[in-house]
Structure 1
Amino acid sequence: MAASEAVALLETLRAQAAEVAAHGRELLRRVRGGRLETREGLSLLELRPQLLLTYLQDLTLLAGSKARGGSLGLQGATLGRLLETRVVLEKLRPLEQRLRHLLEKLLRAAAAGGRGAEDPLSFRPAPFNMAAQDEEEEDDEGRGGGAKAPGLGGGRRYVPPRLVPVACDPPEEPEQRSRLRARRRALTSLALRELREELGEGPLQEGAGPGPGHAPPQERHRRRWEESMLRRLSAPRRPRPQGAGPGLDDVTNLGAFPALLGAANQDSSEPPQKKRKKQKMGKKKGRKGFRRRRR
């Protein structure tokens, strides 16, 4: 390095040191005068650049000392400041992670030069839109069925719309419930279902339950296997039916079909059946005695 370059670097360093000293004295004077608010601590955005600058300065001094062949023992003050700054930077990292989202929004807002209608920072409650207005305005809002939403130019308090009154259905009487139950039972009876399948134009439907076309699942599976394999299986032995099946009650019981004709066509001359009271079967009481011996 030439002597002229070294002299130029020294002059530059002296000028920059004078500027830094003047800036430091100005900051000290402002702090002592109370013009800098430091009661709430330092700002993260101000502290982090200062710590990075101090860390780079100490790291440069340490690297220069090692380049000249010096030892770390001679740079005790520089090494201590370097370690302290590194610890503070590590402690600030969790705070930066928590505030990253807010800092990014602030940077975008600063780069855009203003807040738009879709700016996330503008999505905040507006208490002044919820302030109570005069009674006349409230009456007008009540007659209109509601007010404009806050933020749309109305500036009025929001009044929810009134609900339309709905009449409640009267409770059903026991006779009406019994008629509906009889009509539902008649519509689902086996005889009516067979008539619907015979007279209807739709295809035959197979399902579980009594009646034609309602085979159990095992029977349908056996029938499909026989049709696919072209082989007849021996019919399984079926247990002997004990008593009449449930389908015979629907065929013989024709009292449910008048429920389909309405209450006017039903024969009202027949008195309603009374419920039989269950009689308790008690044990027969007899005299206790001894058997007579045979002679």
Structure 2
Amino acid sequence: MNTNFKQVSDLVGNMLQRVKTGELSTEYGLNFLEIKYHMLLNYLINLTYVVLRKCSGHKIENDPSIDRLIEIRTVLEKIRPIDYKLRYQIDKLVKTAVTGASVADDPTSFKANPANLMSQLPETAGADGDSGSGDESDDSTKVLEKLRKAKAAKAGGPGKPESSSTGEVYVPPKHMAVPYEEESKSDRARKQMDRARKRALGSSLIQELKEEYLDTPVEISSSSRALQKLSRKEREREEYEEKYLTRLPITKADKHRSRKLTTLGEF
């Protein structure tokens, strides 16, 4: 432990020295990672305080540090899906920062660039040619003008407005490229087992056996088994949306299930 502590102390001290000298820039970064690191630091501080209290023989019951540890741990668990979604973007930025250039095998670097289709000749070169091209020349001019506008918008950076002549604002795409991770056979088998176990535990036969042989109190309800099943599906949907902070699309089957749930509830 002492060896690891010395290594960590030397590493942190060296990093702090590089930050103070300006060798490591901390101006531009992800706010999500900054918040996460601050929370991890507070978690370790409170955890060290609890260990110190226990080693000193003091009581930790009703100590405020316990509540802080629970709160920080809960927040860290809830932001795990966000961390998973940003993993590809973070890894890409880290590789770029380490190597100093973009990754050569990055799939997004092979996308089509419409600006390469623009003519590299001066604009006055076309004035010496044939002036009787008619509509074809007008169409080519319009296409080149659109490509110039697209190139100017790209050079201005995402989120920055275009030239005042167009009056339009560049809107960056909302979709972020992420690698496709194929699901392994073990993961598929585990999910199938979980679904089968959930279906078995939710069946009417298991419910009747639990009511007959277990000592737990039986809840008397006037709702039917179908109504309980539909209500359980709605609860699962709400739990998924709250866990992953997203809205699931409502299909025709979901609308039909909602109407059926309302109809059964009226009886």
TM value normalised by structure 2: 0.32
- Larger relative helix fraction: 2
Q: Larger radius of gyration, structure 1 or 2?
A: 1
